Structure 1
Amino acid sequence: MPEPRIGIVVDSTCDVPPDWPYRDRLHVIPVHIHFQDETLREGVDITEDAFYARVLREGQIPKTSQPNPEEFAQFYRSLAHQYDTLISIHVTARLSGTYRSAQAAAAAVKDVIQVHVFDSGGGSAGMGFMADEALRMIDAGASARAILDRLATIRQRLQIFLTPKDLTFARMSGRVSALGAFIASMLHIVPIIVLVDGELIARERARSRKKALKQMVAMMQAQLGEGPANIAMVHAQAPDDLAYFQELVLNAFQPQVFWTTSLSISIASHLGPGTIGIVGYRTE
């Protein structure tokens, strides 16, 4: 009996590098971005540059929403001619209803195609690393069960730290008050956002941009310890800091896989351009 053909689905909060070799085998369902009466699909109808320019021009952070169950069901059905089984990896259910929409759709299409829906516990390059390992395992002949077990291990080990350049977008999105943002900017306080149990929480603070970048690397070192790791730098239009941050990261780690990738619009929209972060996990 032939092995089942396994495909990988993600939502558009997943981040991978532009030159990632599996890009044409990753099936991406877009998150919706709502500007007042206009709904756009992330990665399809709007670019990063256009998104940030529009937000700054209009002075409002758009709302985001997950694909609804029927959209997911149509997406899954469209892949049934290529695959027998799908592993559908999504942004943490703590931050979005995407996972629940995917679950409802998986039940609706069970007579057409088998879909395993997996909560990544995070998003961004964390999901990207999961997709990367899943596709490598498919090429090695692994079963869906073995892949899901590996994804669960990555989720348990995954660490994500982010820091915004300033609090302009956080203030507009309601994440901090206008007064709080003003005081923080006057005192040059830079927050560090940490992934904790599937939620992004402002856990640490630094007194400058460079100190925040150094602190994120130290925090990642403390969490990962010794041993091999996969590491990604993620950013939202922060080219000026990338060289310095990369030097910090590569002095601290000798990663098996090292990525630099843009941060998805739907995640970065609440923190703004200039946001930079580090994503990593122990591979053994």
Structure 2
Amino acid sequence: MLKVLIDGSGDMPEGWEEKYQFQIVPIPIQIGDKTYYQGVDINPSLFYELVQDEKNRPKTAAPSPDMIKTLIENLYDAGDTVLSINVSGKMSATVQMVQKAAEELKNKIEVITFDSNAGSAVLALMARDARLRDIAGETIEQILEKLRLLRDQLIIVLTLDNLEFAYRSGRVGKLQAALTSILDIKPIVTLKEGLLSMSDLVRTRRKSLEKIVAKVYQRFGNEAIKVAIVHSQDRPTAELLQKMISDTLNVTETIFTELSISVAANLGPKTVGIVAYPEMI
């Protein structure tokens, strides 16, 4: 049987962890002088409450190999293969920590690490695909082939409300962050070569959503696609984006999910966006 371990920095739709029997690796998040573990002792509501104080700059870290080893051992049953699906190695060191844990367990447990070269809801989508294909009787080689195809075809486009959290995390300068706030400029962030990077700056929230739709249409046209709408404490805007996407593109499946805390720590509240990939995969 295939057991799936997921990097906790990915966004997880409600109920999927239990439904598909995933094991999630908690990501350490330091706020002030205290370290929390995502999904263990901090949730989005507490996170946003704590970071209202500008002095509390959240910092994320990779989980330790020892923690990952324990999670794998608890997940494993005799004869299992464990597949770990991780956020891009260019954005996080977690995949390296999993590889270290896998090396230490290699004489007892077969652990396969897969770098999604992405983040956000991609990890959950890949993990669901892997579980369903395993249940359908596909081999691990067939499953990995499909995951690589999904990785090559997907798109992530997000719009940030402002650059305050990007400034707090050291990703942009203070002046740039201040100007986007004063001028009501909405940054557009896209996935490129395993990194989330700023691609556009537009005026107003509505235009930022239109830009997201345009970028997805530019990529897929009228091709049938599946989408995940992601947001950080802004479900109404996420639902508006879903309507705009459905009115413009050929969408066959839509799921909603809250941005994980470790992603929101760098992008901030009211971030909204989309993960999309072809239905044929």
TM-score (norm 1): 0.94
Distance 1:161 1:103, change over 3 A: same
Distance 1:207 1:273, change over 3 A: same
Provide the residue aligned with 2:194 in structure 1. 198
Q: For 1:82 and 1:216, how far apart are their aligned partners in 2?
A: 46
* 1:221, distance to aligned residue in structure 2 (A): 1.1
Provide the residue aligned with 2:151 in structure 1. 155
Query: For residues 35-184 of structure 1, what are the structure 2 equivalents within 5 Å?
Result: 35-81=31-77, 84-184=80-180
Provide the residue aligned with 1:185 in structure 2. 181
**Secondary structure in 2 aligned to 1:270?**
helix
Q: For 1:83 and 1:246, how far apart are their aligned partners in 2?
A: 42
| Unmatched runs of 5 consecutive residues or more in structure 1 | none
* 1:20, distance to aligned residue in structure 2 (A): 3.6
Q: For 1:269 and 1:83, how far apart are their aligned partners in 2?
A: 38
**Secondary structure in 2 aligned to 1:28?**
strand
Letter paired with 1:235:
H
CA RMSD of aligned residues (A): 1.6
TM-score (norm 2): 0.95
Structure 1's consecutive aligned runs of 4 or more residues displaced over 6 angstroms after TM superposition are none
* 1:98, distance to aligned residue in structure 2 (A): 0.4
* 1:187, distance to aligned residue in structure 2 (A): 2.1
Q: Report the more deviating stretch, 94-103 or 9-18.
A: 9-18
**Secondary structure in 2 aligned to 1:81?**
coil
**Secondary structure in 1 aligned to 2:53?**
helix
Q: For 1:60 and 1:161, how far apart are their aligned partners in 2?
A: 27
**Secondary structure in 2 aligned to 1:256?**
strand
* 1:61, distance to aligned residue in structure 2 (A): 2.1
Judge conservation of contact 2:9–2:260 (CA < 8 Å) in 1. yes
Letter paired with 2:80:
D
Q: Percent identity?
A: 35
Provide the residue aligned with 2:222 in structure 1. 226
Provide the residue aligned with 1:244 in structure 2. 240
Judge conservation of contact 1:60–1:173 (CA < 8 Å) in 2. no
Q: For 2:78 and 2:250, how far apart are their aligned partners in 1?
A: 38
Q: Deviations along 1:185-243, whole A, 9 cap, x unmatched?
A: 22221110010000011011111111001101110111123322110100000123123
Letter paired with 1:186:
I
Q: For 2:142 and 2:57, how far apart are their aligned partners in 1?
A: 40
Q: For 1:275 and 1:177, how far apart are their aligned partners in 2?
A: 19
Q: Deviations along 1:38-93, whole A, 9 cap, x unmatched?
A: 21111111010110110112533221111111211121122222651011000000
Judge conservation of contact 1:77–1:112 (CA < 8 Å) in 2. no
| Unmatched runs of 5 consecutive residues or more in structure 2 | none
Q: Report the more deviating stretch, 248-257 or 187-196.
A: 248-257
Q: For 1:251 and 1:83, how far apart are their aligned partners in 2?
A: 47
